[in-house]
Chain A
Amino acid sequence: MIILDPKRAFRFPIEAKNISPDIFAKKSSKEIAALQMWEGNRKGALGDLFNIKNDSGSPSEEFTIKIEGDASKLRNIGARMSMGHIVVDGDAGMHLGEDMSGGTITVAGNAGSWAGSKMKGGTIEIKGNAGDYIGAPYRGSTKGMNGGKIIIHGNAGYEVGCFMRNGLIQILGDVGLFAGIHMSNGTIFVQGNSEGRAGAQMINGKIVICGHTPVMPTFTIDSIKPKVKVDGEKIEGPFYRFIGDLADNGNGKLFVSKTKNPHLSPYEKYLE
């Protein structure tokens, strides 16, 4: 296990795409210390910013990188990783696990926006809150998250799962506006409330909201379901099942808790 201990509190954004098990593997501590890092507009080395400890555990253990302390200024941690583990003790910065295809990332604190951006596989678990655009693609791209799993124990911001194509995003807390906007497949499971506009412009896929949420006028009611399946697990309802977004000829499924959303009862007249 490689342990990275920040030498000081960081103030400027740091380009940290070199902090990845794929890059660290088969490198000595000296080689790791020489890896290039940009801090603001100054080019430096990883060794200038972190004390590097090589704590070789049992050889069977998968390759692990642990960042001790605050990493909220570190951008692109674990970018393009395909194996191993990254553990962040504090907060993690933006673009956590961008384009990753395997391995796991665990963050004890909060994570910035664009966590799991464009990810294709692997797991990201965030114990705190997450920012906006979780699993979303780069600006202007329509290729969002295409596999893997993101679990957020706290709340998440706006546009979670934007342009999502596959995979699962699970939010135990609340979610902001536009969860699952433009999504074409995959699942978003929100255990808390949603601020609204969930599934806007979605073409396909599944969004499950267990808390309170407004529903877009461009969704049409389909049925009431007693339970819904998420990632092989049955979630107890009952749920209103909406289909949309009609504006985009979509066939996305939006499941909304019946008990938490009495304001949606007028829709029931279309089911009789």
Chain B
Amino acid sequence: MAVITGVTCPVCGTFCDDIELIIENNVIVEARNACAMGAAKFLNYSAHRTKKPLIRKNGELVEVSMDEAVEKAAKILVDANYPLMYGWSNTSCEAIRTGLELGEEVGAVMDNTSTVCHGPSILSVQDVGIPSATLGQLRHRADLIIYWASNPWSAHPRHAERYTMFSDGRFEGSTWKSYLSRLRGVMSRKKIQRASNLVLKQDFCFTPQVEEGLPSSVHQKRRRTIVIDVRKTRTADAADCFFQVEPGTDYELLQALRVLVNDGELDVDEVAGIPIETLEQLADLLVNCKLGIIFFGLGLTMSKGKHRNIDAAINLTRDLNKRTKFLIMPMRGHYNVTGVNIVFTWQTGYPFAVDLSNGYPRYNPGETSAVDILSRDEADATMVIASDPVAHFPRAASKNIAKHPLIAIDPEVTPTTMLADVIIPPAFVGIEAEGTAYRMDHVPLPLKKVVEPPETCLSDQEILQRILQKVRELRRDMN
């Protein structure tokens, strides 16, 4: 039995680096400190995997040697007039770098999962810039946390515990105890209600406490959390204050807050279903904190307005910085989606949707982004790595992926691999292969190799290197 400490968790953008794994006979038997999502991956990653390369012959997927699969993949890419290479967010920066070299060699369009995730955030950052910090800063100093259209309780389970409301920082303490006492209060009320119902044999109800304006807890001198969302999530239950926004009106709300923060006045009585008086109190709260942070999620980037919502949110942060210190950060989904943006930018100058077909990088989401290219049926071959677009793209785009040759580099069985013509299963990065990945606040951390991969599985980087070598051989033969 071996205990490996300081393992990074290859699941969500929080990218926890304090996992302890217990290994017995090359199998992970226990994952300590991991959340449910992390533990599920560490303990079950190998349950439904593909171990050998497959090629579709006469409609059937048949097992082949690695060399044959690599040659077939290289041939598809060399023959294509406008290939698309998509995915990348669940692999290491080293593999992404090799992938970009391959993309340049075959004149492909390179896109990553930000295109359907935080791509709009990147567009608005390019328009207006971003004031941000590392998560460590926020853990120690932030006294006002805002989760806007994001639900870390479900999507980034250890985010609150490690960096925000339940973390014990040097200058700001955890609000865990006040959350527990609130929870106990709710439970005792329920118990009394149940007992009263039994005794009185009729429905007994506490008169709900109606507070004027914001709850008193948000005015306390401690770390406070506000959740702004279209529905009451688990994160909202744990927060001091929750604002329910009418779906599709975040932009109006952000712009209205900007006016109020700048001491302006509005002609309307309510915005996004929230009365102006309440919004004025919220604006006061924002202005009077010492260090505030807005964590925003896909509820902003992928709802009506898309990158303009983020444009307004960043501008709100900028306005607040005239009065106090305020920061903003996107809640990135995959563990290395930040890394893929960084590697793309460092290699090509652009973070996603990079068209290398004319021999130099061009960038214009809407024109060179994966969903748009596939919806217009322009790509004549697709290579997917570490992602599952068929399950997540619009139907028209998924249909067009399947119409043309499809290469999948993925150890899992997914809708994309089921439609693929070539499947090359790699080793799991962060478990069976090492590398580097970037946390959501742009901090690079190492991915560890803790167990040996099956003999037939190479790492993503090695597979891409082999395809690149084969592509170069084929092109040399053609000339």
Contacts and interface: CB of A to CB of B under 8 A. Distances in A.
Interface of A: 11-13, 15, 38-42, 73, 75, 94, 113-114, 132-133, 138-140, 142, 159, 177-178, 181, 197, 200-201, 216-221, 245-249, 267, 270
Contact of A12 (B81, B258, B367): B81
A218 B266 contact: yes
B303 to A, nearest CB: 12
8 contacts: A11-B377, A38-B357, A94-B367, A138-B364, A139-B365, A140-B123, A247-B259, A270-B267
Given A39-B81, A178-B308, A139 B252 contact: no
B383 interface: no
Nearest to A219: B267
Contacts of B377: 11
Q: Per DSSP, are chain A's interface residues mostly helix, strand or loop, or mixed? A: loop
B305 A197 contact: yes
Contacts of B255: 200-201, 216-218, 245, 247
A169 B252 CA distance: 25
B277 to A, nearest CB: 14
Nearest to A181: B308
A12 B82 contact: yes
Interface in B245-299: 251-252, 255-256, 258-259, 262, 264, 266-268, 271
Contacts of B256: 217-218, 247
Candidate in A38, A197, A247, A249 with the most chain B CB atoms within 10 angstroms: A247
B251 A217 contact: no
Interface size class of B (residues with CB under 8 A): 35 or more
A12 B108 CA distance: 12
Given A139-B123, A218-B266, A38 B304 contact: no
Interface in B227-247: none
A11 B365 contact: no
Contacts of B126: 139-140
Given A247-B258, A247-B259, A177 B266 contact: no
Q: Give the residue among A42, A217, A246, A267 with the most B Cβ atoms within 10 A.
A: A217
A40 B81 contact: yes
| Most chain B Cβ neighbours within 10 Å, of A12, A113, A245 | A12
Given A133-B366, A201-B311, 18 more contacts: A11-B380, A12-B82, A13-B357, A40-B357, A41-B106, A41-B107, A113-B367, A114-B364, A140-B127, A178-B305, A197-B308, A201-B255, A216-B255, A217-B252, A220-B267, A246-B259, A247-B256, A267-B267
Q: Which 9 pairs from chain A and chain B are nearest by CB? A: A41-B107, A40-B81, A140-B126, A40-B82, A247-B258, A41-B357, A247-B255, A217-B268, A218-B255
A15 B82 CA distance: 13
Contacts of B311: 201
